[in-house]
Every structure is written in C-alpha cells, then in structure tokens.
C-alpha cells in the first residue's frame, strides 16, 4: 500500500470503522530519515487512535534505530515489513526477500523488539515461492523474539498478487503459535471476511487493495460480523461527498500541486464504484492541474 496509506487515507478508513491503520512503508536507511517524503509517510499530526508505522530494511541496527526514531515521533506500534513483493524492494533483499534468510529475520526482530518499549508487529507472506513456504517457521521465530502480532498475506512472494490467496497456511500458523494472527489477502466483502476468520481461526483480518475507493468496506464488515445483516452499498451522493472530503484532506496534507497529482489515483478507484463514469470524464479529471478544476470535473462526472 505504498503511496496509498497516507494520513488522509488512514483517517478516512478509521472513520469508516477500521480498528487500526498502518502507515506506508518507511525506509530504515538513515540517509533518507529526514527526507520530506519519508517524514510525510509517518506524519501523525492530529491522527486519531493508535498510530502504527511500518519500517522496511535489512540491517538490524538501522531497523532498530528507525523504530526508535518513529516512536520518538509518536508511533504507538512499530510494524516490520517482510511481505512486500515489489521488485525494487526484493532486489535489495528487503521485504519478502528476507523470508529466504531466517537467521537475518531473527536478528532484525530481536534488534527492533529490544530497541523500543512499544509493541512490534510483523507482516509476512507464506514464503518466497510455492516450493519454499516457511511461514510457520518464521512465525515461531517471531513469537520467540517477542513480536506482539503477525499479519500473514496468503501468497508467496513469487505469486505477487496473482491467483487466489491460500488460507491453509494462515490456519497452520495460527495453530503453531500463541501470538495474535491477522489474515490478509483477497478479503473484499463482509461475507469473505467472516469466511476467512472462520476457516483460518485468525484473530483479525487486514484489508488492503479492497479498501481503495471503497472505505465503506470496514463498516460493512463490522456490521455483518456484529449482526449478520448486510449493509446497503453507499449511494452515489454518499460516494461523491466522501470523495470530495478526501480530496480536500489530500490538498491540505500535500499542498495543491502534489495533492492534485496524488488524488488522481484515488478518484479513479472511487469511480470504479460508479456505473455511468465514462473514459472522457476520467480523462478530464486527470487533466486537471489545480484543486478547483479537479473538484469541478469530479462534480460534473457525478452529475452527468
């Protein structure tokens, strides 16, 4: 969710019922620590609820220092990323590439847990590829190192986001350790959320791509799990109102120029839930260069 789970999006998801929203990946490289984009990724000013910052790297000492730095800036939880499948991340042996080196995994986890006084969580995949699923072994290392909770995406690194998430490994991990397990992967409806929780025995679920342009998913899941009833989908006017509020927060957070650019992908995701948005409308929105023009084109699209 790099480039997506900034403060405006995290706040929106929490308002819609998410129990916890994790920051974008923050590089542990000390040379990047005070870079503007790095600081924005973990900006929590005025953010409600628990603040979780996800750090990424391969050097135990740098990861420990990054954890300390972010706790000093207000993080309540440090989340370690060992699940990202992106080529540019794995090419430097970070993210899910770390799953190939269980010794280094333990060194990183030990270093980070011992460096801070807040809970440390871990995000992983089921393994490097289908022939090398080692999530159970990694989860045992995590528990021994003092990791407070583990999120498991039901795919290997080689699978990226292709095919269907496999939940049997999540079920096996849940049986193997006593720390809370969070299931992740292909959970895009309230019914799917209930099914995954039941079939894996997981303690919680994590939503990623399915929340893009669809923050109402959290309230839909909460309502279904609590009552067994299905909430109606948001009306077009509700989608429009939510999107406009989201845009205003993006402009405020990033500034007008960058805010407009960042907003384009979010608008496209919201538009996926509107039937009568055509390519010409999308093109005009993408051509907008300032907030006033972008909002005008969004409103024209909704009122077409």
Decide: helix, strand or coil at residue 250: helix
The verdict on whether 90 is a catalytic residue reads no
Decide: helix, strand or coil at residue 209: helix
Distance CA 147, CA 252 (A): 36
pLDDT attached to residue 196: 97
Beta bridge partners of residue 77, listed in sequence order = 52
Distance CA 87, CA 149 (A): 26
What is the chain's pLDDT, residue by residue, as a tens digit (304 residues)? 888 999 999 999 999 999 999 999 898 888 888 888 888 888 888 889 999 999 999 999 999 999 999 999 999 999 999 876 655 554 455 566 788 899 999 999 999 999 999 999 999 999 877 788 899 999 999 999 999 999 999 888 777 788 888 999 999 999 999 999 999 999 999 999 999 999 999 999 999 999 999 999 999 999 999 999 999 999 999 999 999 999 999 999 999 999 999 999 999 999 998 888 888 888 999 999 999 999 999 999 998 6
Distance set, CA 125 to CA 168, 250, 262 (Å): 13, 31, 28
Q: What is the DSSP letter of 133?
A: B
Which residue matches tokens 């991340």? 89
pLDDT attached to residue 131: 81
The domain 7-225 having CATH identifier 2.60.130.10: the answer here is no
pLDDT attached to residue 40: 86
Instruction: Give the active site residue among 84, 90, 159, 290.
Output: 84
pLDDT attached to residue 17: 97
pLDDT attached to residue 32: 84
Distance CA 41, CA 43 (A): 6
pLDDT attached to residue 94: 59
pLDDT attached to residue 88: 53
């Amino acid at each position: 969710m790099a480039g997506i789970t900034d403060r405006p999006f995290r706040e929106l998801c929490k308002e819609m019922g998410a129990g916890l929203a994790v920051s974008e990946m923050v590089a542990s490289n000390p040379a990047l620590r005070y870079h503007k984009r790095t600081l924005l990724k973990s900006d929590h000013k005025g953010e409600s609820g628990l603040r979780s910052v996800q750090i990424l790297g391969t050097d135990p000492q740098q990861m420990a220092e990054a954890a300390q730095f972010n706790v000093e800036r207000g993080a309540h939880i440090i989340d370690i990323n060992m699940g990202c499948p992106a080529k540019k991340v794995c090419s430097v042996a970070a993210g899910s590439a770390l799953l190939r080196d269980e010794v280094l995994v333990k060194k990183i986890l030990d270093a980070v847990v011992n460096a801070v006084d807040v809970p440390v969580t871990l995000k992983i995949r089921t393994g490097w590829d289908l022939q090398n699923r080692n999530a159970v072994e990694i989860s045992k290392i995590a528990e021994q190192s003092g990791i407070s909770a583990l999120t498991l995406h039901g795919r290997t690194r080689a699978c990226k986001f292709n095919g269907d998430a496999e939940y049997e490994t999540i079920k096996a991990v849940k049986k193997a350790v006593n720390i809370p397990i969070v299931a992740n992967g292909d959970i895009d409806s309230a019914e799917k959320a209930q099914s995954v929780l039941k079939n894996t025995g997981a303690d919680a679920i994590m939503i990623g791509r399915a929340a893009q342009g669809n923050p109402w998913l959290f309230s839909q899941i909460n309502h279904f799990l609590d009552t067994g009833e299905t909430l109606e989908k948001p009306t077009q006017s509700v989608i429009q109102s939510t999107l406009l509020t989201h845009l205003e927060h993006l402009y405020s957070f990033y500034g007008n120029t960058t805010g407009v650019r960042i907003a384009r992908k979010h608008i496209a995701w919201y538009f996926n839930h509107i039937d009568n948005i055509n390519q010409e409308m999308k093109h005009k929105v993408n051509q907008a260069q300032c907030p006033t023009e972008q909002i005008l084109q969004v409103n024209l699209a909704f009122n077409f």
